[in-house]
Structure 1
Amino acid sequence: MAVSANTCDISYEDLRALLDKGQNLLLVDVRTQEEVDKGRIPGSLHIPVNAVEEAFSMDPEAFRTKYGVAKPPLDTSELVFHCQMGKRGSAATSTAVGLGYVNARNYAGGYKQWSEKAGR
């Protein structure tokens, strides 16, 4: 199945607005544990890129038990992946879309851009 063109990137401003609204956003940090230990976007959930397919294939109960949050429904509009600079986040987004998450998005600026903009 081809990844459709609506797999879109999300901007810093859009992500900030979703975080400020704060309801159901699931922001998934797909970097390594070492990277996360150096800093993270507040409220993000760490699932390394190589575990994304397994995590989002879990049944909801197992997902909640392992990650401490509700597994989002396939039609959620508030599922965003990010890494350091965009490549792994894009791969994770494609994986999620392949699993049926039709609105999954990638924060292409990644933690690098976040730390530069949010640190001002």
Structure 2
Amino acid sequence: CAKSDKDNISYEDLQVLLKENQNLVLVDVRSKGEVDNGHIPGSINIPLDTVESAFKLPPEDFKSKYGKTKPEKDSQDLVFHCQMGRRGETATKQARQLGYSKARNYAGGYMEWSKKQNK
């Protein structure tokens, strides 16, 4: 079934957020090896199997580990992505279960991003 727009953001939306939103926390949930082959500038790598523990960290620990301010629970500044959308969706669900009610998934993932960047 189609996901509603509040769960997902498009490539175009992400472009705007990356340009205009200083507080955006874009989380790449792929493995370290995948990220080393290319990533979206400004994203932080929190592999899917560590998302839950990462977002349970106290804000100061999150900041020192990932170099970004941990988003507030009701922040719209939290976006997850993976290679093609599936792991990003899982991570978004996990974050929502932890109370990040406005967390979203960039469904196109790195695959779409790299295609569009290179055209």
Structure 2 Cα separation of the partners of residues 6 and 37 of structure 1? 30
Instruction: State the 1:22 CA deviation.
Output: 3.1
| C-alpha contact (below 8 Å) 1:30/1:81 kept by paired residues | yes
- SS of residue in 2 equivalent to 1:57: coil
Structure-2 residue corresponding to 1:77: 76
Structure 2 Cα separation of the partners of residues 6 and 113 of structure 1? 18
* Structure 2 letter corresponding to 1:99: L
Structure 2 Cα separation of the partners of residues 14 and 69 of structure 1? 21
Instruction: State the 1:118 CA deviation.
Output: 1.2
Q: TM-score, normalised to structure 2's length? A: 0.93
* Structure 2 letter corresponding to 1:22: N
Q: 1:7 to 1:55 in 2, by over 3 A?
A: farther
Structure 2 counterparts to residues 1-120 of structure 1, below 5 A: 8-120=7-119
Query: Could you list the runs of 5+ residues in structure 2 that have no partner in the other structure?
Result: none
Q: What RMSD over aligned residues (CA atoms) do the two structures have, in Å?
A: 1.2
Q: TM-score, normalised to structure 1's length? A: 0.93
- SS of residue in 2 equivalent to 1:72: coil
Q: 1:115 to 1:76 in 2, by over 3 A?
A: same
* Structure 2 letter corresponding to 1:110: G
Structure 1 Cα separation of the partners of residues 105 and 32 of structure 2? 19
**Runs of 4+ off more than 3 Å:** none
What does the per-residue CA deviation read over 1:54-83, in whole Å, with 9 as the maximum and x for residues that have no partner? 000011111112111111110111100000
| C-alpha contact (below 8 Å) 1:7/1:94 kept by paired residues | no
- SS of residue in 1 equivalent to 2:8: strand
Structure 1 Cα separation of the partners of residues 14 and 33 of structure 2? 23
Structure 2 Cα separation of the partners of residues 55 and 40 of structure 1? 19
Identity, % of aligned positions: 57
